Structure 1
Amino acid sequence: SNLAQQVCRRLAGARKVARQKNRPVKAFKGGFATYDSRIFSFREKDWTVSLTTVEGRERFELAIGRYQREQLAGSNPKSATLVKRKDGSYFIQICVEAEPSPPQGTDRVLGVDLGRTDIAHTSEGDNWNGQQLNKVRDHHSRLRAVLQRKASKGTRSSRRRCRELLQRLSGKERRFQAWVNHRISKAIVSRAKATNSAIALEDLTGIRERVNQQPRSKAERRRANSWAFYQLRQFLEYKALRAGVALILVPPAYTSQTCHRCLH
């Protein structure tokens, strides 16, 4: 009954989000199951989890690394998500609650300027160029266009192979973008914590709508719409909260200029 209640809860949540975004509900995709404290438990002495299944309670040994063991050590997790991968293997995502560190008091600020040429440029001179990311995005755009054209006009076997290849490539560009943003955000937060500084970040809310009002080519519009500044901001927010670093959002106007006095 508890498993059935979790299914109803997730289905109701999915329909509520779809209604808020004005999207039709076509189907409910499986592949994962949520667990709460009534049907899930973790035991540290032998690194196992106990899960309620349709055939009764089962205990499974965790195959995890040192980092995961450090996060789970001494904790009492009360929820988890069981995920079935495409290859048939199972992963469990355990939710560990932790109190964030109090923000450190400081009068130093590390400014972060966001852009497309440089994904992020700090006031201390560190920058992460976006040329590689643009190349990856352009490559995937061209590849999708070729495969979609062949999937609609090729022979029957070629159409099937193109659809299979499109499905295999699905999400690859998104995962690469997330990896880049994770790497950048981790470096910025580590630098701010090492220098006892707060982080000042541009608030670029609504920039995509403002940019798209200008006359642009199809390729430039695609590159503008594929910005992931909000994802980078989310990564910075939770990493800074965890490290005890204050993060301040500032208006983007005139933040990309050099001071005529101090040349910063």
Structure 2
Amino acid sequence: MTLMNGREHIKIDAGNYQRGKLKGRKPTSAQLCKHRDGNYYIHIQIKDEAPEPIKSTNVIGVDFGRRDIAVTSNGDKWDGKQINDVRDKFSRVRSSLQKKATKGTRSTRRRARQILQRLSGKERRYQQWLNHNISKSIIQDALKNNAALAIEDLTGIRERTNQKPRNKTERRRSNSWSFYQLRFFLEYKGIQFGVEVIAVPPAWTSQTCHQCLHVGLRSDKRFKCTNEACSWSGDADFNGAKNIATIGAVFVNQPRGSNCLCCELSTDSSGLLKSLRSPLAGA
């Protein structure tokens, strides 16, 4: 390693897990970082070839949300109550500490700033850990079922929702929704394990019945089909995930789109296959 006084040979204390990752691979770069605990850690980057995506006509749809972080067309769901409670708790704590850091006594202000620094990033790390676990479970389910994944393309949703009149708390909760991070984790894990991930437009997916493709009524978490011949009712997010899977299956089985569904495809900046128009738009 090249330091200010010349090159130095430093022994790396690596565990069996790290040695297993490095075995047989050639590092491309490395970065030496000093962590808050005062210890130095080296981050080594390696390049690995991604496997070929699994060819399958089976597609699992994933519906993103705030109340339920993710709901799949297979019926799996991850409740968002815990992360919402954590966010609300950290928001209250930060608000209280920030007030004390500006209006308290000298010792109180110093102590409040120290606590704020200690809490810095804790909420973000918890959200990241949660999204890693959710994405890992979804990818494992796709591998188990030999299926591709279809997810919602929620690009620009914050700009659209922020135009609506909402109170401060609701705006904070909406803007802290980390749907893009979950999508990113699904994308790179899909590349790593050979699972194809397709982004589809979310329009009408939660308002259209997945059985008869008629537009129904959604009330909060419940959906009811207004078609008398169908009359399906159930969880709105599960219904949306089913529709997302249906749209994704069209893209997988007919990569250039379907004439009857009038779909056009493009690729976004992340490399995900996405549609310009939802097949449900004409339903």
What's the TM-score, normalizing by structure 2?
Answer: 0.73
Tell me whether 1:260 sits opposite 2:218 in the alignment: no
In structure 2, what is the Cα distance between the partners aligned to 1:80 and 1:115?
A: 37
Local SS of the residue matching 1:59: coil
In structure 2, what is the Cα distance between the partners aligned to 1:216 and 1:91?
A: 44
**Structure 1 residue 255: deviation in Å?**
2.1
Counterpart of 1:237 (choices 187, 190, 194) is 187
In structure 1, what is the Cα distance between the partners aligned to 2:114 and 2:14?
A: 31
Local SS of the residue matching 2:10: strand
- Structure 1 residue ranges, 4+ long, deviating more than 6 angstroms after superposition: none
Q: 1:58 to 1:210 in 2, by over 3 A?
A: same
Aligned to 1:217: 167
Whose RCO is larger (CA < 8 A, sep 6+)? Answer: 2
Aligned to 1:104: 54
Aligned to 2:101: 151
Aligned to 2:120: 170
Counterpart of 1:134 (choices 62, 84, 98) is 84
Local SS of the residue matching 2:37: coil
**Structure 1 residue 66: deviation in Å?**
2.8
- Write the deviation string for residues 18-68 of structure 1: whole angstroms up to 9, x where unpaired: xxxxxxxxxxxxxxxxxxxxxxxxxxxxxxxxx211122222333333322
Aligned to 2:257: none
Aligned to 1:251: 201
Counterpart of 2:27 (choices 45, 57, 77) is 77
Q: Compute the RMSD of aligned alpha carbons.
A: 1.4
User: Which one-letter code corresponds to 1:149 in the other structure?
Assistant: K
Residue ranges of structure 2 left out of the alignment (5+ in a row): 213-229, 233-241, 243-283
Q: How many correspondences in the alignment?
A: 214
What's the TM-score, normalizing by structure 1?
Answer: 0.78
After superposition, where does 1:41-52 map in structure 2 within 5 Å?
51-52=1-2
After superposition, where does 1:29-48 map in structure 2 within 5 Å?
none
After superposition, where does 1:105-124 map in structure 2 within 5 Å?
105-124=55-74
After superposition, where does 1:159-198 map in structure 2 within 5 Å?
159-198=109-148
